[in-house]
Amino acid sequence: MAQWYFDEDGDLSALDGKTVGIFGYGNQGRSQALNMRDAGVNVIVGSRSDASADKSKEDGFETLPLSDAAEKADIIFMLVPDEVMPAVYAEHIAPNLQPGNVVNFASGYNVHFKKIVPQTDVDVIMLAPRMVGQGVRDTVVAGVGFPSLVAVHQDASGNAQNTLIALAKAIGSTKMGVIESSFEEETIADLFNEHFGFLHAVRQGVEVLVEKGVSYEAAILELYASGEMREIGQYFVDHGLFEQLKLHSRTSAFGQLAWVRPNEAAEKASKDHLRGVIDKIKDGTFADKWDEVQKDQMKEFAQTEADLKAQPFWQEEIKLYKRLGRL
């Protein structure tokens, strides 16, 4: 059973006299900054002169160039995208770190795969919300909070754990509860969620329905475009994967629970495929491939997207969404 931490486990006084620097004022950065400011934490923003800098100034935060903010901050929140984070860290963060500083990551990816190797005299922690950026703000304003995975990767000060749980409380996550994890565990779970294959499974479902005589419009509306799936997704959150079937018709519940369950051989084959997905995450195959794609100016990414856009599915979806007034 994983260790959980709640509001009573966090002491905000651990942040007294500390300045938190937000690097990456996007959906996550903005929400976490606003939540921490509401909790009484001193927050500044490090940003290039762009729209995000304009927004952080509009929100009332002291906004400095990246290197200046890194020099001023005691606690660094690395919230820029994974693919640019190593360069930002090397150029602006690492040269300005002081012994005893804290570097916080919202994902284990770059540290786990050693794209970033922090100096040994700073605390390295992870506070990884399991919530989209706007939800980080909205759920706290609503008094509910959201869950996070947390981990101490390097405890140079001897106080990293207390700082971590205080920060989790400051962003509002201990209202619902945070779970002790590791940089490796978060990386595996996060990438697996993204590699699970959901988008292509839905695409294949549409294509098979069309092959069997259903129109693209009916197939796409049924599987996702109507918005029903969004409501069912909320049922998953509120009731659980199978308990939510009680909110469906008995016909629907029987079809989902029993009729379409794969036989033993098919289920084993599916799990073997998913095990392979995890193995390629754990051994660094995906990380190496992603590096290769980026170094090649994203040509493979662009070609894959172009190939899919040329397929009937993509074209028919665009037509439907135009008819629905969404494009």
List binding-site positions for Mg(2+).
190, 194
Is the distance from CB of 127 to CB of 148 less than 8 angstroms?
A: yes
> What DSSP character marks residue 123?
E
Q: Alpha helix locations (H) across the chain?
A: 27-38, 51-58, 66-72, 85-88, 109-112, 133-141, 160-170, 183-195, 198-211, 216-220, 228-239, 250-254, 264-282, 285-295, 299-309, 312-323
List the binding residues. Answer: 190, 194
User: Does the CA dihedral 302-304-307-313 come out positive or negative?
Assistant: negative
Is the distance from CB of 91 to CB of 119 less than 8 angstroms?
A: no
Calculate ∠ Cα 323-324-327, nearest 5°.
80
Radius of gyration of the chain (CA): 22
User: Does the CA dihedral 34-153-86-306 come out positive or negative?
Assistant: negative
Structure tokens at 3: 């260790």
Beta bridge partners of 128: 149
Q: In what order do the strands lie in the sheet with 19-23?
A: 4-5, 178-180, 148-154, 123-129, 102-105, 75-78, 19-23, 42-46, 62-64
Residue length, the chain?
327
